[in-house]
Amino acid sequence: MKKRIAVFLALFWLPISGLDPVGTGARIQQQPPPKPPSLSKPAPKPTPPAEPKEDLDVVTVDTNLVTVPLRVRNQKGSYVSDMRAEEFRVFEDGVEQQLAYFAPVDSPFTVSLMLDVSDSTQSSLGQIKEAAIAFINQLRADDEVIIIHFDGVLNVVGQPSSDRAVLRAMIEQVPSGSGTRLYDAVDKVLTRLLTQIKGRKAVVLFTDGVDVDSRTKAEQTLREAEAGEALIYSVYYDTREAMREELLGGPVPYSVLKSRTTYLNSVYAVARRYLDSLAQKTGARMYPASNPAKMAVAFASIAAGLRAQYSLGYYPANPPQPGQRRKIKIQVTRPRVEVDARDTYLCRSPIGSTSK
């Protein structure tokens, strides 16, 4: 308890910009057994799948071909699974492109569940574990999950698994921690762990969004998410009331109460904006965890959306340069349906070379 109060007292004296310190990321600690993929150095690449598997909202540039995974919904919000190639039109920076590739996607995926066990989430840790277990129960039998928990250290628990009993046991045994290095954890998962996983993948992040100790900037992780290859869903826990009680500890002068309360509210406003931006950059969503009864519905929606995917491909009439952002617009000729896809992509490798 005293340690957590000390952490947030230190946070109180930092300016808001202190939430985005500059640096390289968190130390990584892995838990045996079994031994997870090494995050400190590249692991041997697994055997590639027989057929390509695309991530929704991931734009891959490979030998000039841009692929755009997407979903289509009807007016009731249900996914539409019988779209034809001729019903789509693709525009880049306002210029219509010739469709060169079309495929519905129906294959298993790997989900990285990131559980925040830092000081600020101690009051919600039980709920976070219950929500994580509820989510894996929504997945198909052949979908795989990798369990990750973080505080001041990033911990990867075992290899990706589809065994629900094993996954539940892993989640139940996740310990509480100390320190708050959310940005470092996101950075390492995006740039090291996910690059070792082939096929479709997504991240579900259970957190309050508060960061104190990271050396990685929030903006850096947002750029990585936009250029990356996974949807990032955020499940937001508002823990400010519990932390306010621990920060104050008892009667304090009104001026102290007001200043610390104002600052704490600012910290949580920054946290929520970050999680919302992280989801939006990848075409995913942030879900508030204020109503646990609605979380099962939300998790079912996430799982269904990850499976109901199409993939369109085209060769840009005007190829982009590395680091250049392009706008994408997907239109459909079928009435009363809507396309769910990201509206930009970031070219992170030279056209004409392999993107991965």
Taking Cα atoms as reference points, which of 62, 56, 67, 311 lies closest to residue 203?
56
Q: What is the pLDDT of residues 119-142, one digit of tens each?
A: 889 889 999 999 999 999 988 888
Compute the distance between CA of residue 143 and CA of residue 160 in angstroms, rounded to an integer: 9
- Given a cut of 60, whether residue 1 has pLDDT beyond it is no
> Residue 331 has what pLDDT?
95
Q: Indicate the pLDDT class of residue 229, thresholds 50, 70 and 90.
A: low
Q: Which CATH number does the domain 60-106+308-346 belong to among 2.60.40, 1.10.10, 3.30.450, 1.10.1200?
A: 2.60.40
Please say whether the beta carbons of 307 and 106 come within 8 A: yes
- 30-39 long-range contacts (CB < 8 A, ≥24 apart) are 30/155, 30/156, 31/155, 31/156, 31/157, 31/158, 33/158, 34/158, 34/159, 36/146, 36/156, 36/157, 36/158, 36/159, 37/156, 37/159, 37/193, 37/196, 39/154, 39/156, 39/188, 39/192, 39/193
Tell me which fold the domain 2-34+108-303 belongs to.
Answer: Rossmann fold (3.40.50)
Task: Kindly report the number of other CB atoms within 10 A of residue 146's CB atom.
Answer: 25
Domain ranges of the chain: 2-34+108-303, 60-106+308-346
- Given a cut of 90, whether residue 274 has pLDDT beyond it is yes
| Range in 37-41, 135-139, 223-227, 266-270 with the lowest mean pLDDT | 37-41
- Given a cut of 60, whether residue 37 has pLDDT beyond it is no
In eight-state DSSP terms, residue 131 is: H
Taking Cα atoms as reference points, which of 131, 148, 123 lies closest to residue 37?
148
Q: Indicate the pLDDT class of residue 97, thresholds 50, 70 and 90.
A: very high
